Structures are given as structure tokens and as C-alpha cells.
Amino acid sequence: MNGRHESSNAPGVAETLGDARVADPNSITSFLQKGAFVVRSLFSGALLLCLVGCGGGYSQESEAVTTVSASGTLTYKGKPLAGFVVAFQPVDGKRAATGVTDEAGKFVLGTNTKDDGAVPGANKVSVVWQPPEDDGMGNVIDDPSKLPKPPVQIPATYASPETSGLLVEIPEGGSSELVVELK
């Protein structure tokens, strides 16, 4: 680069002016356009993977798991609890089943669809309050501060299957007499 001027008409070849290199502006534009295309392609591919293959969640296209009839009663200190969600999480990691208790504390579990049962075997259980969606007169409650409080306050440890300490076995033949007793 001894101060001489070299030039080439080939695209992407830089000109040398003294000790400084000046890139061909057409090659920079081409490079940036190719780079933007690569970035967009990578982003689109990653997004597609997440939408198609990364979810392990349930959708109507998900494979249904085999269930057995499963229902029972939820009580706290011997009294039935109404309006609580009872969730049974199989210890083997299969899909959880949930049900909502009625006025008598009765629930019916559903895994693939409402009330279709639960996976047989050992299940960790959690219980949480489910406030009503409307005010009783058909008006949706959209302000969380206006949601009614649970009729009975249960210990927060029951909200997670990992901390509840509740383990219920669902027999291979199913059961309509499952008992979840909170203390």
C-alpha cells in the first residue's frame, strides 16, 4: 500500500488509497441487504419453531390421554368447599385433570375435555379459589378489585401441587368417591 492507487471494477473489491481502504458502496449495500435477509430468515424460522414445535401445551390437535372416571368431594376442616378448582397432577408427568366444586364440595375431573376423567395412578393435588365470572346478574366482573373473596380462606400451601402435601391415588377402574380433605 505504498501510496499508490489501485482500482478494480470487480464488485466487492475495495480501492486502496494510500494506507486507507475504501469499500465499494455497491458491495456494502449488497452485504447489508443479504445480512438483513439472513436475520429476517433466522427470526422467521425461530418464530415458526416456537409456534409449531416448542409448545408442549394442550390444543385440540394434541393427542388425547387415556382417562378413567374420576370424581369426589373437597372439604376443609370437615366442611364442603364450593367454587374451588381441584387439580390432579399425575406424578409421572402426564396431563393434569381439573374440576370445579359445587355447593356440596363435589367435583368431576376432566383431562382432555370437561368431565372426561383423569389419568389413573398417583396424583399430586392442588386447590385454588375460582371467583365467579359475573356478579350474579349477568354483568362480567372485569376489575380484579371487585371480585368476591373466597367464602373460606384456605392455607396458601394448597395452591401448588408441590407444596400441598396432598397425594391421591386414582384407581385403574376409576372412582366416584375420591376425597380431598384440607386441614
Q: Which residues contact 8 (CB under 8 A, 6 or more apart)?
A: 15
What is the per-residue pLDDT across 126-163, written as a single tens digit (0 to 9) for each?
999 998 887 778 888 888 888 888 989 999 999 999 99
Q: Rounded to an integer, what distance in angstroms lies between the CA atom of residue 164 and that of residue 124?
A: 8
pLDDT in tens, the chain (183 residues): 444 444 445 444 444 444 445 555 555 555 445 444 444 444 334 433 433 344 444 455 578 999 999 999 999 999 999 999 999 999 999 999 999 999 999 999 999 999 999 999 999 999 999 988 877 788 888 888 888 889 899 999 999 999 999 999 999 999 999 999 999
Amino acid (one-letter) located at 38: V
The DSSP output letter for 118 is B
| Amino acid 39: pLDDT | 40
Handedness of CA 147, 76, 154, 171 (dihedral sign): negative
Q: How far apart are CA 43 and CA 37, in angstroms?
A: 10
Residue 27, pLDDT score: 53
Do the Cβ atoms of 99 and 108 come closer than 8 Å? yes
- 94: nearest Cα among 123, 128, 114: 123
Q: Sign of the C-alpha dihedral, residues 116, 90, 133, 137?
A: positive
The CATH T-level fold of domain 70-182 is: Immunoglobulin-like (2.60.40)
pLDDT in tens, 69-81: 999 999 999 999 9
pLDDT at 113: 96
The count of other CB atoms within 10 Å of the CB of residue 122 is 14
